[in-house]
Structure 1
């Protein structure tokens, strides 16, 4: 099948969460012709996932607290975060929130901001907290995208980035050139679309969708990281993934808000002081004593149930907001017993970018959860959405400038595309999810990760899968390789065979792809 571009734009943004929508708006406001594609419907990805109760965002309260937040990001990141990128990031949060308000987005402000529950996950102090109202975001973004003439492509998954000189989809040239366009698969019409564009912004979300036990939308495919690898990009800190306590039954998957641990009874009889400590952060971490709660849930031979039956009246405001959402979303009382399980959620690492959202390949930009460097081994609560806003704006602006400088001429390319056979794709996804669930959730070992690597390689060789399925397998192989290379426990990464941290490994790891197609891992030097 020969593909010739049928759609022409200056900037093609992939992903319609916070980062993607902000990038598309910024690029369009600079005069660029923009198309915005998403695997699912408009307003999708982690930002609009129905299984979590809302989108919170934190900001520093003045210059002194801005410096404190930068230092805390570095400390909580356990030496894995790029301090310069964190400083750029924190400095951009107030403007990003002000920009949302200017556009008309309703920001929720707490009435009881001094309550303990408003201290962000892993943080030591209260910050400025704002809740981003999803309905308001959708309304404002939809109006802005329409007013600026952004072309919307829903149900369109990214299949490949096309470089100048590339002749085959899925096979980049050996010496990387620059972006010429993208190839998308439209699942609603079972067709392939070629798009010519001077710049591409990846805002495709993290890698959590690769697991079987996951707290993500189904459109978080995790294949864009493999595409980035194939085009010369590096992935940093991908072994650090947020693993969340999740309601498995009777409703699934729904996040179990960590603040509830303080007021809960677990069927395995965890000490109350330990539950109180666990209530201070959502994701699992290996660096605090509260890890024993997650390990006990994971290692229990019987299903673990939680009953939130110790809530005071009135409940703390933060929990009251969660309770209203939870009961509306599930039809269950918050106090009703539920079964808990660990699920993969958000990525702390991804495509390595600079402060303007640029990758290595000229014309390629990225923002949001698919990127890495601004967070580390653990991530402070409320900073995922802040990162999406700040770097979404920066990447969109940078892409618009790049496209303007490289002309608005129509880029003509013709590439061959082998669609493959799709009969085994769903079976491959199930096997992929099972491998990661067994070997790469909370408890990881060298032996288990080696077995996972072997199984993934066998899966890759075992069928003629569509390109997207092969990309998901490559992303999983990169994850497992990074987990195996880090022979210590640090933050979100726990090795049962190396339960302590190793000062000699206090450096981030970057995964890249050699010209022979082999995964390569080495300590990263931030730009």
Structure 2
């Protein structure tokens, strides 16, 4: 790691999913000099995840529908969403979709727009629905990046940020071949995705690390709603980490991998009702009767790593609705699987509803630091309507790009000394995997006091052990992998502690957060939990 280079730019964007790409393009359109960095390729993260057949992009049908959409998002969020952010969000979605069309991004519209299959998860009616096609989106948005002269930094892991006199001044990246990259800038946008890096089983690519949230927190930003996340079924085998289409729940049999018998034995649960209801939404929620389906699948995953076997019924094979047919056509083309093939299913982390706290200008409260996309929290709550993750990246990506560019216009670049401080931890990769296993056991579907406390105690032990095995870093003593993994461990440790503290504090069940020892929603906990300066606490009501 003895090589180095220096970059000067107005705006640095960290993360190259839909949020980061839109932020870079918008900042470029404002005539800012923009650098877009990704720890892997450009067009990455959950926005371009290869394990799904496409991404829904949902918005209000028209201006009159906006109020109902806002009210529904707030209702589904169960008091955990910020009303001002939601209003900003909804009022800009149509504009964002129009912008994609202007960029000639191909969007797939439903042939039967009124079909029940196109009602978004947790919503009560059909909305404006578009399918975002990955290949076409990459091609069209690449042209916009080139048109606006965006400097691309693929395969660069941003591991430190710097500020001077209270404002952001730069960041340090590492590259496998180029070594250290010092980036001096006027503003930074974090668009690095959700908290998938905290979990063993995740429907994300490995570049979704949680590093962005950690960097923001280190700079003084606040995190919010960490305990609320989307957990949903995915393939364990074959084609691991492929997203399961929830619309087929009612048409499927779920079998114990060992006995080949149904996992839904008679126990007083109305399984027909639960499966029908489960077919209306992808992520788990404790709000609905369908929760019993997730409970049963997750229990089997905990006792058998093979999960449960899924076999499709003849009724589905003979008659596939449009949304489901699209799914099986994609499976055949991309995964070489057909409706005749059985799969093994498990429960995975999928997406974060919480993250870096921002305002309606995508500002974090730290001068020169902005954030957007799944790295942020506030525009969603305890549950999130389907199709809004893509819309979130589209809307707040553009807002963050505009805000960061406008902020940068007022300033000069300040070339302060970048003191490289990367404590290298022996066996960092092993500790990361242990933390991911702990979070899977404790912070997924079932959450319970005694298990959470055990996990927090072990996190403290790991923190101490890693301190004991830390080596002070020289400039050329360690490899790229050692430096990268040690930085990721530092982030995962801090955020695992914050996540589990939030889970422990919320002694109730609310949306995606289910406490087995507190199964009911409690009005006393109708406040958001924030993480600031390493301290987790309930937000002070304004």
| TM-score tier (shorter) | over 0.9
Match of 1:178 in 2: 167
Counterpart selection for 1:509 from 529, 538, 541: 529
Shift of 1:525: 4.4
Tell whether 2:56 aligns with 1:56. yes
Q: Is the 8 A contact 1:3 1:415 kept in 2?
A: no
SS across alignment from 1:265 = strand
How many residue pairs match? The answer is: 508
Residues 339-350 of structure 1: matches in 2 within 5 Å? 339-350=344-355
Tell whether 2:241 aligns with 1:238. no
Shift of 1:307: 1.3
Match of 1:491 in 2: 511
Distance 1:341 1:15 in 2: 28
Structure 1 stretches of 4+ with a deviation exceeding 6 A read: 1-5
Shift of 1:106: 0.7
Residues 412-491 of structure 1: matches in 2 within 5 Å? 412-421=415-424, 423-463=426-466, 464=470, 466-491=486-511
Distance 1:483 1:428, change over 3 A: same
Distance 1:422 1:60 in 2: 49
Distance 1:214 1:138 in 2: 23
TM-score, normalised relative to structure 1 = 0.93
Q: Deviations over 1:137-181 (max 9, x none)?
A: 10111111112211111111121211015xxxxxxxxxxx00001
Counterpart selection for 1:200 from 188, 193, 205: 188
Counterpart selection for 1:304 from 305, 308, 314: 308
Tell whether 2:538 aligns with 1:522. yes
Match of 2:118 in 1: 118
Distance 2:194 2:118 in 1: 25
Distance 1:77 1:461 in 2: 37
After superposing the two structures, state which structure 1 stretch, 85-94 or 222-231, moved more: 222-231
Q: Is the 8 A contact 1:158 1:182 kept in 2?
A: yes
Match of 1:145 in 2: 145
When the two chains are superposed, the root-mean-square deviation of aligned CA atoms in Å is: 1.7
Shift of 1:289: 0.7
Distance 2:332 2:526 in 1: 43
* Structure 1: runs of 5 or more not aligned: 166-176
Shift of 1:416: 1.9
SS across alignment from 1:447 = helix
* Structure 2: runs of 5 or more not aligned: 256-261, 265-270, 471-484
Counterpart selection for 2:211 from 223, 227, 238: 223
Residues 146-161 of structure 1: matches in 2 within 5 Å? 146-161=146-161
SS across alignment from 1:254 = coil
Distance 1:180 1:525, change over 3 A: farther
Distance 2:342 2:540 in 1: 45
After superposing the two structures, state which structure 1 stretch, 270-279 or 129-138, moved more: 270-279
Residues 376-395 of structure 1: matches in 2 within 5 Å? 376-395=381-400
After superposing the two structures, state which structure 1 stretch, 325-334 or 436-445, moved more: 325-334
